[in-house]
Amino acid sequence: MKNTFGNVVTVTLFGESHGPAIGAVVDGLPGGIRIDEKYIAARLTQRRPSGRISTARREPDSYEILSGVFNGYTTGTPLCIIIRNEDIRSKDYEDISRLARPSHADLTAMYRYGGFEDYRGGGHFSGRITAALVAAGAMVMKALEDKGIYIGTHIKSCGGITDREIADETDLRVLAETDFPVLDAEAASEMERIILDAAKDGDSVGGVLETVVLGMPEGVGEPWFDTAEGMLAHAIFSVPAVKGVEFGAGFGITRMRGSQANDCLRTDGKKIYTETNNSGGINGGITNGMPIVFRTAIKPTPSIFKEQRTVDIKKGENALLRLKGRHDPAVVHRAGVVINAVTALTLADLLAARYGADWLKTGENK
Amino acid sequence: MKNTFGNVVTVTLFGESHGPAIGAVVDGLPGGIRIDEKYIAARLTQRRPSGRISTARREPDSYEILSGVFNGYTTGTPLCIIIRNEDIRSKDYEDISRLARPSHADLTAMYRYGGFEDYRGGGHFSGRITAALVAAGAMVMKALEDKGIYIGTHIKSCGGITDREIADETDLRVLAETDFPVLDAEAASEMERIILDAAKDGDSVGGVLETVVLGMPEGVGEPWFDTAEGMLAHAIFSVPAVKGVEFGAGFGITRMRGSQANDCLRTDGKKIYTETNNSGGINGGITNGMPIVFRTAIKPTPSIFKEQRTVDIKKGENALLRLKGRHDPAVVHRAGVVINAVTALTLADLLAARYGADWLKTGENK
Amino acid sequence: MKNTFGNVVTVTLFGESHGPAIGAVVDGLPGGIRIDEKYIAARLTQRRPSGRISTARREPDSYEILSGVFNGYTTGTPLCIIIRNEDIRSKDYEDISRLARPSHADLTAMYRYGGFEDYRGGGHFSGRITAALVAAGAMVMKALEDKGIYIGTHIKSCGGITDREIADETDLRVLAETDFPVLDAEAASEMERIILDAAKDGDSVGGVLETVVLGMPEGVGEPWFDTAEGMLAHAIFSVPAVKGVEFGAGFGITRMRGSQANDCLRTDGKKIYTETNNSGGINGGITNGMPIVFRTAIKPTPSIFKEQRTVDIKKGENALLRLKGRHDPAVVHRAGVVINAVTALTLADLLAARYGADWLKTGENK
Amino acid sequence: MKNTFGNVVTVTLFGESHGPAIGAVVDGLPGGIRIDEKYIAARLTQRRPSGRISTARREPDSYEILSGVFNGYTTGTPLCIIIRNEDIRSKDYEDISRLARPSHADLTAMYRYGGFEDYRGGGHFSGRITAALVAAGAMVMKALEDKGIYIGTHIKSCGGITDREIADETDLRVLAETDFPVLDAEAASEMERIILDAAKDGDSVGGVLETVVLGMPEGVGEPWFDTAEGMLAHAIFSVPAVKGVEFGAGFGITRMRGSQANDCLRTDGKKIYTETNNSGGINGGITNGMPIVFRTAIKPTPSIFKEQRTVDIKKGENALLRLKGRHDPAVVHRAGVVINAVTALTLADLLAARYGADWLKTGENK
Q: What is the mean pLDDT of residues A69-83?
A: 97
SS3 assignment, position C28? coil
Closest Cα to residue B316, out of A218, C50, A271? A271
Three-state SS sequence of chain A = CCCEECCCCEEEEEECCCCCEEEEEEECCCCCCECCHHHHHHHHHHHCCCCCCCCCCCCCCCEEECCCEECCEECCCCEEEEEECCCCCCHHHHCCCCECCCCCCHHHHHHHHCCCCCCHHHHHHCHHHHHHHHHHHHHHHHHHHHCCCEEEEEEEEECCEECCCCCCHHHHHHHHHCCCCCCCHHHHHHHHHHHHHHHHCCCCECEEEEEEEECCCCCCCCCCCCCHHHHHHHHHCCCCCEEEEEECCHHHHHHCEHHHHCCCEEECCCCEEECCCCCCCEECCEECCCCEEEEEEECCCCCCCCCEEEEECCCCEEEEECCCCCCCCCCHHHHHHHHHHHHHHHHHHHHHHHHCHHHHCCCCCC
CB contact under 8 A, B2 and A225: yes
A7 touches chain C (CB under 8 A): yes
Contact partners, residue A198, CB within 8 Å, separation at least 6: A204, A205, A300, A329, A330, B257, B258
Q: CA-CA distance, A158 to A115, in Å (whole number)?
A: 37
A285 touches chain C (CB under 8 A): no
For residue A113, the model assigns a pLDDT of 96
Tens-digit pLDDT profile for residues C245-254:
999 999 999 9
Judge whether D121 and D90 are in contact, CB under 8 Å.
yes
Residues in chain C: 366
Tens-digit pLDDT profile for residues C141-182:
999 999 999 999 999 999 999 999 999 999 999 999 998 999
| D93 has pLDDT over 60 | no
Judge whether D241 and C247 are in contact, CB under 8 Å.
no
- Chain C CB contacts of A359 under 8 Å are 356
Find the CB nearest B354 among D353, D356, D359.
Answer: D356
Judge whether B224 and B339 are in contact, CB under 8 Å.
no
Closest Cα to residue C17, out of C105, C113, C115, C114? C105
Q: How far is CA A309 from the centre of its chain?
A: 30
Residue in chain C lying closest to A7 (CA) = C7
Q: How many CB pairs under 8 A join A and B?
A: 363
- Could you give the count of Cα atoms lying within 13 Å of A31 in the half-sphere of its Cβ? 22
CB contact under 8 A, D257 and C204: yes
**How far is the alpha carbon of C355 from chain A, nearest alpha carbon, in Å?**
5
Find the CB nearest A223 among C7, C77, C223.
Answer: C77
Checking C361-364 for CB contacts under 8 A at 24+ apart, the result is: C361/B114, C361/C30, C361/C31, C361/C32, C361/C33, C362/C32, C362/C33, C362/C34, C362/C143, C362/C146, C362/C147, C363/B116, C363/C32, C363/C33, C363/C34, C363/C73, C364/C32
At B6, the amino acid letter reads: G
Tell me the backbone φ, ψ of residue C164, rounded to 5 degrees: -75, 170
For the B4-360 domain, the top CATH level (class) is alpha beta
Q: CA-CA distance, C292 to C277, in Å (whole number)?
A: 9
B31 touches chain D (CB under 8 A): no
Tens-digit pLDDT profile for residues C188-231:
999 999 999 999 999 999 999 999 999 999 999 999 999 999 99
Q: What is the mean pLDDT of residues A154-179?
A: 95
A298 touches chain D (CB under 8 A): no
Q: What is the mean pLDDT of residues D38-49?
A: 90
For residue B3, the model assigns a pLDDT of 83
Q: Is B115 left (phi over 0), alpha (psi -120 to 50) or beta?
A: left
Q: What is the mean pLDDT of residues D129-150?
A: 97
- Chain A CB contacts of C223 under 8 Å are 77
Closest Cα to residue B282, out of B309, B246, B313, B251? B246
B210 touches chain C (CB under 8 A): no
B237 touches chain D (CB under 8 A): no
Judge whether A111 and D30 are in contact, CB under 8 Å.
no
Interface probe for C, chosen from A7, A12, A29, A218 (most Cβ of C below 10 Å), is: A7
For residue A2, the model assigns a pLDDT of 74
SS3 assignment, position C138? helix
- Chain D CB contacts of A65 under 8 Å are 20
**DSSP letter at C155?**
E
| A54 has pLDDT over 70 | no
Q: Which residue has the higher pLDDT, A324 or C364?
A: A324
Q: What is the mean pLDDT of residues A302-329?
A: 91
| D87 has pLDDT over 60 | yes
Closest Cα to residue B210, out of B159, B240, B249? B249
- Angle, helices D332-355 vs D130-146, to 10°: value is 50
- Could you give the count of Cα atoms lying within 13 Å of A195 in the half-sphere of its Cβ? 29
Q: CA-CA distance, D2 to A324, in Å (whole number)?
A: 45
CB contact under 8 A, B124 and C19: no
Mean pLDDT is lowest, of A61-65, A128-132, B131-135, D20-24, for A61-65
Strands C308-312 and B21-27: unpaired
- Chain B CB contacts of A129 under 8 Å are 224
For residue A194, the model assigns a pLDDT of 97
Tens-digit pLDDT profile for residues A339-359:
999 999 999 999 999 999 999
Tens-digit pLDDT profile for residues B173-189:
999 999 899 999 999 99
Sign of CA dihedral B288, B290, B292, B295: negative
Q: CA-CA distance, C110 to C313, in Å (whole number)?
A: 8
CB contact under 8 A, B102 and A274: yes
| D1 has pLDDT over 60 | no
- Chain B CB contacts of A157 under 8 Å are 254
- Could you give the count of Cα atoms lying within 13 Å of C60 in the half-sphere of its Cβ? 5
C67 touches chain A (CB under 8 A): no
Q: CA-CA distance, C353 to C351, in Å (whole number)?
A: 5
Instruction: Tell me the CA end-to-end span of chain C in Å, nearest whole number.
Output: 34
Interface probe for A, chosen from D3, D5, D26, D77 (most Cβ of A below 10 Å), is: D77
Tell me the backbone φ, ψ of residue A290, rounded to 5 degrees: -85, 165
**How far is the alpha carbon of A97 from chain D, nearest alpha carbon, in Å?**
14
For residue B221, the model assigns a pLDDT of 97
Q: Which residue has the higher pLDDT, D1 or A180?
A: A180
Closest Cα to residue B227, out of C114, D186, D126, A125? A125
| pLDDT category of residue B51 using cuts at 50, 70 and 90 | low
C116 touches chain D (CB under 8 A): no
| A58 has pLDDT over 70 | no
Contact partners, residue B248, CB within 8 Å, separation at least 6: A243, B277, B278, B279, B280, B281, B282, B293, B294
CB contact under 8 A, B255 and A160: yes
C121 touches chain B (CB under 8 A): no
Q: What is the mean pLDDT of residues B68-84?
A: 97
Q: How many CB pairs under 8 A join C and D?
A: 363
Find the CB nearest B113 among C13, C75, C117.
Answer: C75
Sign of CA dihedral A317, A321, A324, A326: positive
- Chain A CB contacts of C359 under 8 Å are 356
| pLDDT category of residue C86 using cuts at 50, 70 and 90 | confident
| B203 has pLDDT over 60 | yes
Kindly state the helix (H) or strand (E) to which residue D340 belongs, with its residue range: helix D332-355
Tens-digit pLDDT profile for residues C284-304:
999 999 999 999 999 999 999
- Chain C CB contacts of D121 under 8 Å are none
What average pLDDT does chain B have? 93
Strands B265-267 and B272-274: antiparallel
| pLDDT category of residue D135 using cuts at 50, 70 and 90 | very high
| pLDDT category of residue C365 using cuts at 50, 70 and 90 | low
| D275 has pLDDT over 70 | yes
Interface probe for D, chosen from A80, A84, A314, A366 (most Cβ of D below 10 Å), is: A80
Kindly state the helix (H) or strand (E) to which residue D230 belongs, with its residue range: helix D228-236
Closest Cα to residue D348, out of D86, D62, D121, D141? D141
B14 touches chain C (CB under 8 A): yes
| C67 has pLDDT over 90 | yes
B329 touches chain C (CB under 8 A): no
Find the CB nearest B77 among D77, D223, D354.
Answer: D223
Find the CB nearest D107 among C124, C231, C288.
Answer: C288
| pLDDT category of residue C56 using cuts at 50, 70 and 90 | low
Tell me the backbone φ, ψ of residue A131, rounded to 5 degrees: -60, -40
Q: CA-CA distance, A335 to A328, in Å (whole number)?
A: 12
CB contact under 8 A, A77 and C353: no
Contact partners, residue D186, CB within 8 Å, separation at least 6: none
**How far is the alpha carbon of C293 from chain B, nearest alpha carbon, in Å?**
30
Q: What is the mean pLDDT of residues A193-208?
A: 96
How many Cβ atoms are within 10 Å of C224's Cβ, its own excluded? 29
D353 touches chain A (CB under 8 A): no
Judge whether C212 and C292 are in contact, CB under 8 Å.
yes
For residue C97, the model assigns a pLDDT of 55
**How far is the alpha carbon of A356 from chain C, nearest alpha carbon, in Å?**
4
C318 touches chain D (CB under 8 A): yes
Q: CA-CA distance, C358 to A354, in Å (whole number)?
A: 8
Mean pLDDT is lowest, of B2-16, D50-64, D213-227, for D50-64
CB contact under 8 A, D113 and A70: no
Tens-digit pLDDT profile for residues A4-24:
999 999 999 999 999 999 999
How many Cβ atoms are within 10 Å of A319's Cβ, its own excluded? 18
SS3 assignment, position D111? helix
Q: Angle C336-C342-C348 (CA atoms, 0-180°, nearest 5)?
A: 130
B253 touches chain A (CB under 8 A): yes
**How far is the alpha carbon of D151 from chain A, nearest alpha carbon, in Å?**
27
CB contact under 8 A, D78 and A366: no
For residue C49, the model assigns a pLDDT of 73
Judge whether A13 and A347 are in contact, CB under 8 Å.
no
Chain A contact partners (≥3 CB pairs within 8 A): B, C, D
| B88 has pLDDT over 80 | no
Domain ranges (residues) in chain A: 4-360
CB contact under 8 A, C66 and B82: yes
Q: CA-CA distance, A227 to A286, in Å (whole number)?
A: 6
Contact map slice: B 154-173 vs D, CB within 8 A? none
Judge whether D244 and D252 are in contact, CB under 8 Å.
no
A251 touches chain D (CB under 8 A): no
D355 touches chain B (CB under 8 A): yes
